[in-house]
Amino acid sequence: AALREGYEHFDPRAYLRNNYLPPRADFSSEEFVVPWKLRCLAETFASGEIRGRTLIDVGSGPTIYQLLSACDHFEEIVATDYLAVNREELSRWVRGEPGAFDWSPFIQHVCKIEGRGEPWQDKERRLRQRLRRILPIDVHRPEPLGAPLRPPADALLSAFCLEAVSPDRAAFVRALAHVGNLLRPGGHALLLGALGESFYLAGPARLPVVPLEESDVREALAAAGFALRELRSYAMPPALRTGVDDVDGVFFAHAQK
């Protein structure tokens, strides 16, 4: 209940500013956190093993960076979020409305690291075409979308959501199992998330986060029925500890249901 109350004050623009503008979104060096996240996703999708009809992104928030490498490998991308303000922010970008957040530096960077020489506008167009559904979700419900996804997703992605909405590790495991219900057996799950974080800010909202270690991520995936394929982590450099949260690092996990 306290978490729900906290999210009522979540300001999407403040969240974007805190995390998706410099210094965190600085593309001049791979040492910054945003290029690290984009590289994890680009390298994982480059294998070509993760593909299919539908990919669902859980707790998309107001962001699309996490879908830039994914969108080449799926016919449809389903974005989801608990908050209407975030779903509206995403729709503004999909429709290319004035005032939408400018993701073009992210798209250019992903095209560069994917190294296929693709014009970034082509990727932007492809993601907009494939991002047809932006649905409400609550990961605390066994049926997070309110009804089963039919057919189930071929892949699941979730970035900085589950630990940021779970009061403790047990709730994190339950949320992971709930979102696993949206995925077909054998489907791939990719998680990005915060390590050692206890709160983050989004305008007037101060959101509590369950602090995780790498071992917690491993154990949670196993307990929720996933086989771990890869786990990487990133240590937040001092220059990126800007006071918008107390994050120590970031994990990237690739697992299979």
Stretch that binds ligand SAH, among 88-96, 98-106, 135-143, 239-247 (CB under 6 A): 135-143
20 has binding-site annotation: yes
Tell me the closest approach of the beta carbon of residue 119 to ligand SAH, in angstroms: 25
Q: How far is the CB of 237 from ligand SAH (least distance, A)?
A: 19
Between 59 and 187, CB nearer to ligand SAH: 59
Confirm or reject binding of residue 165 to ligand SAH (CB under 6 A). yes
Residue 128's CB is within 10 A of a number of other CB atoms, namely 15
- What is the footprint of ligand SAH within residues 177-216 (CB under 6 A)? none
Interface with ligand SAH includes 59 (CB under 6 A)? yes
Is the alpha carbon torsion for 169, 174, 179, 183 positive or negative?
A: positive
Give the number of other Cβ atoms within 10 Å of residue 226's Cβ: 24
* φ, ψ at 76 (rounded to 5°): -135, 140
Q: Which is nearer to ligand SAH, 53 or 141 (CB)?
A: 141
Long-range contacts of 164-168 (CB under 8 A, 24+ apart): 164/59, 164/193, 164/194, 164/197, 164/200, 164/207, 164/209, 165/3, 165/7, 165/59, 165/82, 165/139, 165/140, 166/210, 167/2, 167/3, 167/208, 167/210, 168/210
Helix, strand, or coil (residue 59): coil
200 known member of a binding site = no
59 is in an annotated binding site: yes
Residue 145's SS3 state is coil
**Of the ranges 22-30, 87-95, 111-119, 131-139, which one interacts with ligand SAH (CB under 6 A)?**
131-139
* Residue ranges that bind ligand SAH, judged by CB under 6 A: 7, 10, 19, 59-61, 63, 66, 81-83, 86, 137-140, 159-161, 164-165
Going by the annotation, the residues of the binding site for S-adenosyl-L-methionine are: 15, 20, 59-60, 65, 81, 86, 138-139
